[in-house]
Amino acid sequence: MESTYAFVGDQTVGAMVEARMEAAGCSRAESVAEADTVITYYTTQTALEDAYFDESGLIQSACPGTLLIDLSSSTPSFARELNAVAVVSDLVSVEAPLIVLDLSLPDAFARRDNLACLVGGEEDAVQRALPVVETLAGDVQDTGGPGSAQLARAAYTLQTTAQVISAIEADALYRVVRRSSAVSGRGVGRVGAATPVAEQVLAAVETGSFAGTYTVEMLMSELSAALTAADDVDLILPQGEACLHLLELLAVIGGTGKAPSALSLVYGDESACAAEGLDWTRAEQTYGDASDELGFSEHDDVEDGCGCGHDHSGDDPYSGYSIYPGYSVN
């Protein structure tokens, strides 16, 4: 185990890293230059790139031989670039994107067994990093060479996001039907959960648990990284893009810091949103009136408002499908 460490990035993840590393007997260095290991986690690709590649970034600040472990969700191409730059700078780089297994826990990072990491990099680098990563996460998987962990993370993210949103939409259907009709005097019942992820989300929605340390911002960051990876190889992922647009809407009305279960509020009435601090007038200001034919045509505004880091500029083949502002009338 490396004896000293430094953490740079999101402080929610930073608090988890500090607690685990110090419990394992590692001390926090006064600066990056004094650390044997530097651990990073960011929720936007831009911030991650700046952290490593700015003139005063980690590549310049870390001493030769320092182990760099990035817990962020980024792209395979970024991971390979970082590894190449680290090699020529006499540094050791490992990608270890962090996975929260139960998204609905109020303190999702508190339990080591609720965290997993996919680890990719040069074989010697991975072997050096494994003791550190295993200190942080209960499930650690070596995926192979540089870029492999971020590719596996992207695949995991696309499937998880689809499960979260489909479970919430199925629940929304049940709720609306129960309110508006009766079937031979009997109740309509509850929507069944098809996967463990769906079960977690539906349980949180049922109890009104919309706060947690794993946030919509983090989920958007992971999905943005997956979509950027697809962009890098000219692959269009319509379902992933649609999911991101819906998360953007929740972010715009004030849900960035809420748990992903808060997405269910988008399908409810405005009073329920207001009770949770969400404001639909922000959506009207960003997207225009809900009666507009296309709600998400102004992608520059979306990017500024959601903070997800995904590139919304340029031609978007999905912009015409965006009708989400209309959901507030349910």
User: Is the separation of the CB atoms in 114 and 102 below 8 Å?
Assistant: yes
Q: 289 or 68: whose pLDDT is higher? A: 68
Q: Give CA separation, 140 vs 132, 156, 225, in Å.
A: 11, 14, 20
Radius of gyration (C-alpha) of the chain in whole angstroms: 21
Q: If pLDDT is split at 50, 70 and 90, which confidence band does 1 have?
A: low
**Does position 214 have pLDDT exceeding 90, yes or no?**
yes
Average pLDDT, the chain: 87
pLDDT at residue 308 is higher than 80: no
**3-state DSSP percent of the chain in helix, strand and coil, to 5:** 55, 10, 35
Can you tell me the mean pLDDT for 246-264? 96
- The pLDDT-based confidence of 289 (bands split at 50, 70, 90) is low
Based on the fold, state whether residues 286 and 168 are members of the same structural domain. yes
Contacts of 158 (CB under 8 A, 6+ apart): 223, 226, 237, 239, 240
Indicate the pTM of the whole model: 0.85
The CATH number of whichever domain residue 85 belongs to comes to 3.40.50.720
Q: What is the mean pLDDT of residues 193-215?
A: 93
Looking at residue 181, its pLDDT comes to 66
Confidence band of 187 (pLDDT split at 50, 70, 90)? low
For residues 88 and 188, state if they share a domain: no
Q: pLDDT tier at 193 (50, 70, 90 boundaries)?
A: confident
Classify residue 316: in a domain, yes or no.
Answer: no
- Same-domain check for residues 51 and 36: yes
246 falls within a domain? yes
Cβ neighbours around 123 below 10 Å, total: 10
Which of 89, 123, 145 is at the close of a domain? 145
| Boundary (domain end) residue, out of 145, 164, 191 | 145
pLDDT-based confidence at 296, cuts 50/70/90? very low
Please tell me whether residues 163 and 254 are part of one structural domain: yes
> Based on the domain organization, do 89 and 28 belong to the same domain?
yes
Same domain, 94 and 176: no
Rounded mean pLDDT of 313-322? 36
Q: Tell me whether residue 43 is exposed, middle or buried, using C-beta atoms within 10 angstroms of its C-beta: 0 to 12, 13 to 18, 19 or more.
A: buried
What are the Cα distances from residue 51, in Å, to 40, 57, 271? 9, 5, 41
Does residue 183 surpass a pLDDT of 90?
A: no
Mean pLDDT value of segment 39-53: 96
Q: Are residues 16 and 102 in the same domain?
A: yes
Of all residues in the chain, what percent carry a pLDDT higher than 70?
Answer: 84
Asked, for residue 305, whether it belongs to a domain, the answer is no
> Is residue 318 included in any domain, yes or no?
no
pLDDT at 327 over 80: no
State the total domains in the chain. 2
* CATH at 224: 1.10.1040.10
pLDDT at residue 144 greater than cutoff 90: yes
Q: Indicate if 139 and 170 belong to the same structural domain.
A: no
Residues 190 and 236 in one domain: yes
Q: Phi first, then psi: what are they for 107, rounded to 5°?
A: -120, 80
Q: Which two tokens stand for residue 189?
A: 């019942």
How many Å apart are CA 226 and CA 237, to the nearest integer? 10
The residues near 249 (Cβ < 8 Å, ≥ 6 apart) are: 266, 283, 324, 325, 327
139 and 178, same domain (yes or no): no
Residue ending a domain, among 79, 114, 145, is 145
User: Is residue 309 in a domain?
Assistant: no
pLDDT of residue 284: 86
Task: Note whether 156 and 130 are same-domain residues.
Answer: no
What percent of the chain has a predicted confidence (pLDDT) above 90?
77
Examine the pLDDT at 128 and tell me if it is beyond 70.
yes
- Asked whether residue 260 is assigned to any structural domain, the reply reads yes
**Greater confidence, 309 or 193?**
193
311 domain-assigned: no
Terminal-to-terminal C-alpha distance of the chain: 54
Decide if pLDDT at 302 tops 60: no
Residue 8 placed within a domain: yes
Domain co-membership, 35 together with 136:
yes
For the chain, give me the number of helices (H) and strands (E)? 12, 8
Domain hosting 206: range is 152-291
Lowest-pLDDT range of 76-85, 132-141, 288-297: 288-297
